[in-house]
Amino acid sequence: MSENYAAKVGIFVPVFFGYLWFKQNAMTIKEAQQRVDEWIRSTGVRYFSQLTNMAILTEEVGEVARIISRQYGDQSFKKSDKKADLADELADVLWVLICLANQTGVDLTEAFEKNIAKKSRRDTTRHKENTKLKR
Protein backbone atom coordinates (compact mmCIF):
# COMPACT_ATOMS: atom_id res chain seq x y z
CA MET A 1 0.00 0.00 0.00
CA SER A 2 1.49 3.35 -0.94
CA GLU A 3 1.70 6.14 1.61
CA ASN A 4 -0.28 8.44 -0.72
CA TYR A 5 -3.15 5.97 -0.88
CA ALA A 6 -2.93 5.38 2.85
CA ALA A 7 -3.05 9.10 3.59
CA LYS A 8 -6.05 9.51 1.30
CA VAL A 9 -8.07 6.80 3.03
CA GLY A 10 -6.74 7.54 6.50
CA ILE A 11 -5.13 4.21 7.28
CA PHE A 12 -1.56 3.02 7.30
CA VAL A 13 -0.29 -0.27 8.59
CA PRO A 14 3.52 -0.27 8.79
CA VAL A 15 3.45 -3.30 11.06
CA PHE A 16 7.15 -3.95 10.64
CA PHE A 17 7.67 -0.91 12.89
CA GLY A 18 5.15 -2.32 15.35
CA TYR A 19 2.42 0.25 14.70
CA LEU A 20 -1.07 0.21 13.27
CA TRP A 21 -2.25 3.68 12.23
CA PHE A 22 -5.96 4.41 12.15
CA LYS A 23 -7.04 8.00 11.42
CA GLN A 24 -4.09 9.58 13.24
CA ASN A 25 -4.46 7.35 16.30
CA ALA A 26 -1.37 5.21 16.59
CA MET A 27 -1.82 1.81 18.19
CA THR A 28 1.05 -0.57 18.58
CA ILE A 29 0.48 -4.21 17.77
CA LYS A 30 1.05 -4.92 21.46
CA GLU A 31 -1.70 -2.43 22.35
CA ALA A 32 -4.01 -4.06 19.82
CA GLN A 33 -3.32 -7.42 21.44
CA GLN A 34 -4.06 -5.90 24.86
CA ARG A 35 -7.29 -4.23 23.67
CA VAL A 36 -8.59 -7.45 22.18
CA ASP A 37 -7.72 -9.31 25.39
CA GLU A 38 -9.47 -6.67 27.51
CA TRP A 39 -12.57 -6.85 25.31
CA ILE A 40 -12.65 -10.64 25.40
CA ARG A 41 -12.39 -10.66 29.19
CA SER A 42 -14.93 -7.86 29.78
CA THR A 43 -17.47 -8.45 27.01
CA GLY A 44 -16.74 -11.71 25.28
CA VAL A 45 -16.58 -13.75 28.52
CA ARG A 46 -13.68 -15.94 27.27
CA TYR A 47 -11.76 -16.83 24.15
CA PHE A 48 -13.27 -19.42 21.86
CA SER A 49 -11.07 -22.50 21.56
CA GLN A 50 -8.10 -22.28 19.21
CA LEU A 51 -9.78 -24.71 16.85
CA THR A 52 -12.97 -22.62 16.77
CA ASN A 53 -10.96 -19.45 16.20
CA MET A 54 -9.07 -21.14 13.36
CA ALA A 55 -12.39 -22.00 11.72
CA ILE A 56 -13.61 -18.42 12.26
CA LEU A 57 -10.37 -17.06 10.75
CA THR A 58 -10.90 -19.25 7.69
CA GLU A 59 -14.47 -18.00 7.40
CA GLU A 60 -13.39 -14.35 7.66
CA VAL A 61 -10.63 -14.80 5.06
CA GLY A 62 -13.28 -16.33 2.81
CA GLU A 63 -15.39 -13.19 3.21
CA VAL A 64 -12.40 -11.07 2.19
CA ALA A 65 -11.86 -13.34 -0.81
CA ARG A 66 -15.50 -12.95 -1.85
CA ILE A 67 -15.22 -9.16 -1.87
CA ILE A 68 -11.86 -9.17 -3.67
CA SER A 69 -13.11 -11.61 -6.33
CA ARG A 70 -16.12 -9.43 -7.02
CA GLN A 71 -14.47 -6.01 -6.78
CA TYR A 72 -11.20 -6.81 -8.56
CA GLY A 73 -11.86 -10.15 -10.23
CA ASP A 74 -14.23 -11.42 -12.86
CA GLN A 75 -17.25 -12.11 -10.67
CA SER A 76 -20.06 -9.62 -10.27
CA PHE A 77 -21.66 -8.65 -6.99
CA LYS A 78 -24.86 -10.39 -5.95
CA LYS A 79 -27.53 -8.29 -4.26
CA SER A 80 -26.51 -9.84 -0.95
CA ASP A 81 -22.88 -8.75 -1.53
CA LYS A 82 -23.61 -5.08 -2.22
CA LYS A 83 -23.20 -4.00 1.40
CA ALA A 84 -19.92 -5.90 1.86
CA ASP A 85 -17.22 -3.76 3.41
CA LEU A 86 -13.64 -4.82 2.68
CA ALA A 87 -12.15 -2.75 5.51
CA ASP A 88 -14.54 -4.29 8.03
CA GLU A 89 -13.81 -7.81 6.81
CA LEU A 90 -10.05 -7.21 6.96
CA ALA A 91 -10.52 -5.92 10.51
CA ASP A 92 -12.41 -9.14 11.33
CA VAL A 93 -9.43 -11.14 10.05
CA LEU A 94 -7.06 -9.05 12.16
CA TRP A 95 -9.29 -9.48 15.23
CA VAL A 96 -9.35 -13.27 15.03
CA LEU A 97 -5.65 -13.41 14.20
CA ILE A 98 -4.95 -11.38 17.34
CA CYS A 99 -7.21 -13.71 19.35
CA LEU A 100 -5.22 -16.72 18.16
CA ALA A 101 -1.93 -14.98 18.96
CA ASN A 102 -3.13 -14.01 22.43
CA GLN A 103 -4.39 -17.43 23.35
CA THR A 104 -1.26 -19.20 22.08
CA GLY A 105 1.17 -16.75 23.69
CA VAL A 106 2.52 -15.21 20.49
CA ASP A 107 3.87 -11.66 20.68
CA LEU A 108 2.90 -10.46 17.19
CA THR A 109 5.31 -7.51 17.21
CA GLU A 110 8.27 -9.78 17.92
CA ALA A 111 7.03 -12.44 15.49
CA PHE A 112 6.48 -9.93 12.70
CA GLU A 113 9.87 -8.27 13.18
CA LYS A 114 11.52 -11.70 12.97
CA ASN A 115 9.45 -12.51 9.87
CA ILE A 116 10.50 -9.30 8.09
CA ALA A 117 14.15 -10.01 8.94
CA LYS A 118 13.79 -13.56 7.58
CA LYS A 119 12.22 -12.34 4.33
CA SER A 120 14.84 -9.61 3.98
CA ARG A 121 17.69 -12.13 4.31
CA ARG A 122 16.07 -14.75 2.11
CA ASP A 123 14.78 -12.48 -0.64
CA THR A 124 17.58 -9.89 -0.90
CA THR A 125 17.74 -10.17 -4.69
CA ARG A 126 15.00 -12.69 -5.48
CA HIS A 127 12.25 -10.22 -6.42
CA LYS A 128 14.61 -7.76 -8.12
CA GLU A 129 15.81 -10.59 -10.38
CA ASN A 130 12.30 -11.90 -11.11
CA THR A 131 11.61 -11.09 -14.75
CA LYS A 132 7.87 -11.52 -14.14
CA LEU A 133 7.98 -8.42 -11.94
CA LYS A 134 9.78 -6.20 -14.44
CA ARG A 135 7.66 -3.43 -15.93
- 86 domain residue, yes or no: yes
**Rounded Cα gap, residues 100 and 47, in angstroms:** 9
- 127 domain residue, yes or no: no
Predicted pLDDT of residue 9: 44
Alpha helices (H) in 1-135, listed in sequence order? 3-9, 29-42, 50-71, 86-104, 108-122
| 3-40 pLDDT, tens digit each | 444 444 444 444 444 555 545 568 999 999 999 999 99
Counting residues of the chain whose pLDDT is more than 90, the rounded percentage is 65
Say if residues 111 and 57 touch (Cβ distance below 8 Å).
Answer: no
- 122 domain residue, yes or no: no
- 61 domain residue, yes or no: yes
Say if residues 13 and 112 touch (Cβ distance below 8 Å).
Answer: no
| 45-66 pLDDT, tens digit each | 999 999 999 999 999 999 999 9
Task: Name the domain count of the chain.
Answer: 1
By the 10 Å C-beta count (0-12 exposed, 13-18 middle, 19+ buried), 36 is classed as buried
Look at 80 and 120; give whichever has higher pLDDT.
Answer: 120
**pLDDT surpassing 50 at residue 77:** yes
Q: What is the mean pLDDT of residues 88-102?
A: 97
